[in-house]
Amino acid sequence: MRFYSKIICLIVVSVLFVSGCGKKPEQQNKLVVWHWLNDRKDALDQLAEKYTEQTGIEVEFKLFFPPDIYAQKVIAAARAGNLPDIFGILAEKLTIASFVQAGHIPNLLPYMNADYGRWKNSFYPQTLDVVSFQENNTYGAPAGIYGVPIDTAIMQFVYNKALFKKSGIDPDTPPTTINEFINYANVIRKDSHVYGFTCGWGESWMLNCLVTEWAINVMGEEKFLKTISGEIPYTDEEWIEVFSLFEKLRRSGILAPNVTALYNKESEDSFARGKAAFSFNGSWSVNVYRQLNPSLDYAFFPLPAVSTKHPVKVWGGGGSSFMVNAKSPRKEKAINFLKWITAQQQQKFLAKETNNLPAIRLSKEDLPEMLQTTIDDLGKSTHPNVWPHNEDSRVIEALNKGLQQVVMGIKTAQQIAKEIQEVNIRVSK
């Protein structure tokens, strides 16, 4: 008898245990948004409250930080079929294509085109390009728009105006060529005992942005894209010229010490405290610098050119975009919320509160002062998500590591070009 009662107890406990693992009942009037925007948390929460007041629909912004961890969480949730109503994908375009192919995110084109394309036309086209797939794209995704940009970003150089003045350099004429850039950095470094240039090159994607901009300037976008599609090797002379720029930077002595181990946050901190003359950062840094040092006197400027043969392109257009969970029972509500958050009033609020470039066209007066000139450069932006192909992540890894080693003085431009090409050949097999 005792034996059977034990078995019954075990079954009861197991049933209770398993029933505890069930899903909580869904709330029809609550939208859950996963995001990684640490510096925009308060503004987003305020918008969520406002939306609840206006519509009665509760919106919960759940922050996951740092972005690396957030990116993995979203991919893991997709694999487990556990995505929230709204989320962002922090990954290359191939991964966005996988989300589309798996049916996790719906095509928003019909919603964007409704009302004579009013919603679609409100955006800067570059911001939509990064979340769109064209017909017959190489990613194999059906054509459409799969995300809603809520802001945009541009990678540019920044300089400390106060340090310029101290060295007697006109603070309104930033360098336009690489040689000028190195000269200015060296003068300021010696005069003010600061670093010439700091950047978060411990995060290799920062290196990748810069090398991409210089590569496009040196060889032109067409040849650059031909390298990605495998038609031109990384051992090409112009690629070696691009890699040599990093040797030149190292030899010039302007780089902050241990720059290849710096996180971008550390580099931002260093620049905000006036410890470096120049940095390379995204337009989001306006908000970061304001928080770190409100009195910092600085400005943005485009890439110091290496060549005059090809125009300078800036890495940009891709900002923060949100996707809708296609399997969410609140899909329509989620789309309506994204429509609302990208409306003019909310975008003005976000631009003002977070000092980020808006995703939709606003008049210059509505933009943060620091970024009023920067928005003009959006026209010359480029981004991996708008290229017809993405480079294999193993090649990018080899390229980023190689550049780190060049900056550290361990390898030459020729050596890393050869190594990158070896990886390129291996993965293309």
Partner 1 sequence: MTEYTTNNRFSSFSFIIPALVIFAVFYLYPFFYSFALSLYEGDGISTMRFVGLNNYKTALCLDREWWRSMYNGAFITFLALTLQNILAFALALGVNKTVRTNKIYCTVFFILPVLSEIIIGLLMREILKSDPGVFNQILGKIGLGGFASNWLEGEKTALLTTALVHCWRGFGWAFVIILAGLQTIPEQLYEAARIDGANAWHKFTKITIPLLMPVLSLVFILTILGTMQVFTMILALTRGAGGLTEVPVMRIYNHLRGGRLIGYACTEGVVLGVILIAVSFVTLYISKQMRKHYGVLPN
Residues at the site binding partner 1, with contacts judged by CB under 8 A: 2-3, 6, 10, 68, 71-72, 75, 78-79, 91-92, 94-95, 97-99, 101-102, 104, 202, 257-258, 260-261, 263, 393-394, 397-398, 401-405, 407-408, 410, 426
Query: Smallest gap, in angstroms, from Cβ of residue 195 to partner 1?
Result: 9
Q: Which of 277, 258, 331, 306 is nearest to 103 (CA)?
A: 331
- Closest CB to partner 1 among 15 and 114? 15
**Which of residues 367 and 420 has its CB atom nearest to partner 1 in the complex?**
420
- Which residue, 69 or 343, is less far from partner 1 as judged by CB? 69
Cβ closest to partner 1, residue 250 vs residue 352: 250
Q: What whole-number distance in Å separates Cα of residue 153 and Cα of residue 159? A: 18
Note whether 385 and 130 are within 8 A (CB).
Answer: yes
| Identity of the residue, 295 or 428, whose beta carbon is nearer to partner 1 in the bound complex | 428
Of 67, 150, 127, the residue nearest 316 (C-alpha) = 127
User: Can you read off the two tokens belonging to residue 205?
Assistant: 């994607």
Q: Name the minimum Å distance from CB 144 to partner 1.
A: 16
- Minimum separation from the CB atom of position 78 to partner 1 (A): 5
To partner 1, the closest distance from the beta carbon of 110 in angstroms equals 22
**Measured from the CB atom, is 131 or 303 closer to partner 1?**
131
For partner 1, the closer of residues 43 and 206 by Cβ is 206
Least CB distance to partner 1 at residue 336 (A): 26
Q: Measured between alpha carbons, how far is 287 from 291 in angstroms, rounded to an integer?
A: 6
Q: Which of 120, 35, 24, 4 is nearest to 319 (CA)?
A: 35
Cβ 207 to partner 1 shortest distance, Å: 10
Nearer to partner 1, 78 or 272 (CB): 78
**Least CB distance to partner 1 at residue 424 (A):** 13
Cα separation, 361 vs 259, in Å, equals: 36
E strands along 166-290, which residues? Answer: 195-198, 276-282
Choice between 141 and 163, CB closer to partner 1? 141
Q: State how far the Cα of 8 lies from the Cα of 2, in Å rounded to an integer.
A: 10
State the minimum distance, in angstroms, from the CB of residue 94 to partner 1. Answer: 6
The per-residue DSSP string of 193-214 comes to T-EEEE--TTSHHHHHHHHHHH
The CB-of-211 to partner 1 minimum distance in angstroms stands at 14
Cβ atoms of 60 and 30 within 8 Å: the answer is yes
Residue 141 three-state SS: coil
> How big, in percent rounded to 5, are the helix, strand and coil portions of the chain?
55, 15, 30
State both tokens at 17: 């245990």
CB-based burial of residue 406 (10 Å sphere; 0-12 exposed, 13-18 middle, 19+ buried)? buried
Distance CA 88, CA 96 (A): 10
